[in-house]
Amino acid sequence: MKVSQLYAPTLREVPAEAEIISHQMLMRAGFIRKTAGGMYTYLPLAQRVMKKIENIVREEMDAKGAQEILMPITQPAELWQESGRWGAYGAEMWRLKDRHGREFCLGPTHEEVVTALVRDEVRSYRQLPLMLYQIQNKYRDERRPRFGLIRSREFVMKDCYSFDRDEAGLDVSYNAMYDAYSRVFDRCGLNYRPVEADSGAIGGSGSHEFMALAETGEAELVYCTKCDYAADVEKAELHVIKAEPEVALPKEEVSTPDCKTIEDVCKYLRLPVEKSVKAVAFHSEKGLILCFVRGDHEVNEIKVVNTAGVLEVAMAEEAELAAAGTAGGYMGPCGIDHKKAIVIVDSTVMEMHNFCCGANKAGYHFVNVNPGRDFTPTYVADIRLIQAGDPCPHCGAPVAHARGTEVGQVFKLFTKYSAPMGARFLDEEGKEKPIVMGCYGIGVGRTMQAVAEQYNDKDGMMWPRAVAPYEVIVLPMNTKDEKSTAKAFEIYDELLKAGIETVIDDRNERAGVKFKDADLIGYPLRVVCGPKGLEKNQLEIKIRRIGEVKMLSLEGDYIGEIKEILAKL
């Protein structure tokens, strides 16, 4: 490809809405353009990267025996009514009607369509296991589309579905997909962590998210500094901390004027914070939920939602607290009427002795409170939010905190869709059973941008070769110099013949402009051919990612040398 003909319009001014570096770079370098909010056109350079990622995904899916299909984007409402999600999916779903008034949606995901497909065709255990996938546009009317391709409203996703006879079969499929995903993201060059995830709205239990590490990531995670453990903070389990045994002292009410926070109370009473318990109050559809954790711990809302079995929680109002016989800033687990509030106490609190907590009236706390003797919770559960430095639940080493962007997710669905939608098979004994399913997604555009987010410097992007739009750019230093320009074209032809994806910057521009554009677009290798080099029979090559410059002799096998260098990028 000649750069003079390449449709990659560069921008000097990046629109203010491009908040993160990868979005800015993809806009500046002429990879993508916004068509509407959360809808993008992929220009030729981006389209080449997308195709490379798709091909990596295809190879890894095929290697696990998954078969590629293509389902319609437009899906009938009836299927979603069968699974019960037509109402549940909410405003994220793009809904439309045909000329007869029948309802459809633009697929945000394809569990319903694929389950309906399989239920009509699969009858016997002999047809299982089965894995089907597709690569296609998905539609989600996101509340807050942002960060370019990271959270858009139309995006390319690879979605795969597995069908097995039983849970043991599902485990095999799930592990195969987990392995395929690791290979995909390794090949894309991403620094990522597979983390144990909350299964969320899609349902089922047993799920991992593949998180590309990024400061700008929306997800918060923790990973062990020693072993492989990593988890979404929402999901991370925590060990109960056992306190040394103590003789239970008599509970006492003490006045704590002007002590609003637990730190104030501990300071006033001269108690270590590990001897205190603090409260967080939530409002839910089941009423007030009072949660208690050790003074230096935080409450994990997701765990609260799961423990109480509610849909969602919001901060409780003072009036609600008063109605339950307590007061903001002075809440404690003692004497709360379980009919007026759900009391959830963190498992670690249940191991504490002689601690201090609110006395449920303004200006007072209790000291020497002991679980069992002084209060009984509605639920005892692990509701703590994991923090950096907490011990790893697998090996005990301290965990570290990171942010990430979810590029893929694997789910065990079990029979969540097959049971209500009647996707059944006959087992060896002729007994009818629901098919056991899994689903597996990768965001192709999000992966491309996650790579750009990890591979850039002040001058532009630095694509790993496997996903680079082109591998090499040949740069004639001075197009007015016929001899060296002719040589540059000769090298360009040789590289193409050797099967190397190459562009030549044939534009009649100053060398500085060409260098800048090449750096911005991020070709892995730059080959410069100019009059001075030619005099010495030399070619200058530069590896974009490490900035290393090398001279190659035009008398040697420079194409072979370039190939060798590329193999390592």
Q: d(Cα 195, Cα 234) in Å, to the nearest integer?
A: 11
Residue 60 touches which of ligand ATP, Mg ion, none (Cβ within 5-8 Å per kind): none
Q: d(Cα 207, Cα 415) in Å, to the nearest integer?
A: 15
Q: Residue 208 interacts with ligand ATP (CB under 6 A)?
A: no
Q: d(Cα 109, Cα 139) in Å, to the nearest integer?
A: 8
Q: Residue 28 interacts with ligand ATP (CB under 6 A)?
A: no
Q: Which of 83, 326, 409, 538 binds ligand ATP (CB under 6 A)?
A: 409
> Which structure tokens are listed for 24?
């800015």
Minimum separation from the CB atom of position 453 to ligand ATP (A): 13
Q: Residue 407 interacts with ligand ATP (CB under 6 A)?
A: yes
Q: d(Cα 439, Cα 392) in Å, to the nearest integer?
A: 28
Q: Residue 110 interacts with ligand ATP (CB under 6 A)?
A: no
Sheet of strand 103-106, all strands in order from the earlier edge strand to the far edge:
74-76, 103-106, 94-97
Residue that the structure tokens 């200006």 belong to: 363
Paired strand residues for 139: 154
Q: d(Cα 59, Cα 379) in Å, to the nearest integer?
A: 48
Q: Residue 446 interacts with ligand ATP (CB under 6 A)?
A: yes
Residue that the structure tokens 């035009």 belong to: 554
Q: Which of 358, 377, 393, 441 binds ligand ATP (CB under 6 A)?
A: 441
Minimum separation from the CB atom of position 74 to ligand ATP (A): 19
For the chain, what is the radius of gyration of the CA atoms? 30
∠ Cα 482 485 489 (to 5°)? 135
Q: Which of 83, 109, 173, 368 binds ligand ATP (CB under 6 A)?
A: 109
Q: Which is nearer to ligand ATP, 23 or 514 (CB)?
A: 23
Residue 193 touches which of Mg ion, ligand ATP, none (Cβ within 5-8 Å per kind): none
Q: Which is nearer to ligand ATP, 142 or 264 (CB)?
A: 142
Which class for 215: exposed (0-12), middle (13-18), buried (19 or more C-beta within 10 A)?
Answer: exposed
Residues 6+ apart with CB under 8 A from 347: 240, 380, 381, 382
> Which structure tokens are listed for 519?
């750096």
Paired strand residues for 290: 281, 343
Q: Residue 83 interacts with ligand ATP (CB under 6 A)?
A: no
Q: Which of 148, 194, 443, 460 binds ligand ATP (CB under 6 A)?
A: 443
Residue 140 touches which of Mg ion, ligand ATP, none (Cβ within 5-8 Å per kind): ligand ATP
Q: d(Cα 449, Cα 202) in Å, to the nearest integer?
A: 24
Q: Residue 174 interacts with ligand ATP (CB under 6 A)?
A: no
Residue 299 touches which of ligand ATP, Mg ion, none (Cβ within 5-8 Å per kind): none
Site for ligand ATP in 506-545 (CB under 6 A): none
Residue 148 touches which of Mg ion, ligand ATP, none (Cβ within 5-8 Å per kind): none
CA 258 to chain centre: 43
Paired strand residues for 541: 527, 550
Residue 155 touches which of Mg ion, ligand ATP, none (Cβ within 5-8 Å per kind): ligand ATP
SS3 content of the chain, % helix, strand, coil (to 5): 30, 30, 40
Residue 407 touches which of Mg ion, ligand ATP, none (Cβ within 5-8 Å per kind): ligand ATP
Site for ligand ATP in 116-155 (CB under 6 A): 140, 142, 151-152, 155
> Which structure tokens are listed for 547?
């900035």
Q: Applying CB under 6 A, what is the total number of residues that bind ligand ATP?
A: 16
- Whether 284 and 359 have beta carbons less than 8 Å apart is answered as no
167-175, 282-290, 420-428, 440-448 -> range binding ligand ATP (CB under 6 A): 440-448
Q: Residue 484 interacts with Mg ion (CB under 5 A)?
A: no
Residue 142 touches which of ligand ATP, Mg ion, none (Cβ within 5-8 Å per kind): ligand ATP
Q: Residue 505 interacts with ligand ATP (CB under 6 A)?
A: no
∠ Cα 298 302 303 (to 5°)? 70
Q: Which is nearer to Mg ion, 409 or 502 (CB)?
A: 409
Residue 449 touches which of Mg ion, ligand ATP, none (Cβ within 5-8 Å per kind): none
Which class for 495: exposed (0-12), middle (13-18), buried (19 or more C-beta within 10 A)?
Answer: buried
Site for Mg ion in 378-437 (CB under 5 A): 409
Minimum separation from the CB atom of position 258 to ligand ATP (A): 43
Minimum separation from the CB atom of position 406 to Mg ion (A): 5
253-261, 380-388, 437-445, 460-468 -> range binding ligand ATP (CB under 6 A): 437-445
Q: d(Cα 115, Cα 123) in Å, to the nearest integer?
A: 13
Residue 113 touches which of ligand ATP, Mg ion, none (Cβ within 5-8 Å per kind): none
Q: Angle formed by the axes of helices 44-63 and 444-454, to 10°?
A: 110
Interface residues with Mg ion (CB under 5 A) are 409
* Contacting residues toward ligand ATP, per CB under 6 A: 109, 140, 142, 151-152, 155, 157, 406-409, 441-443, 445-446
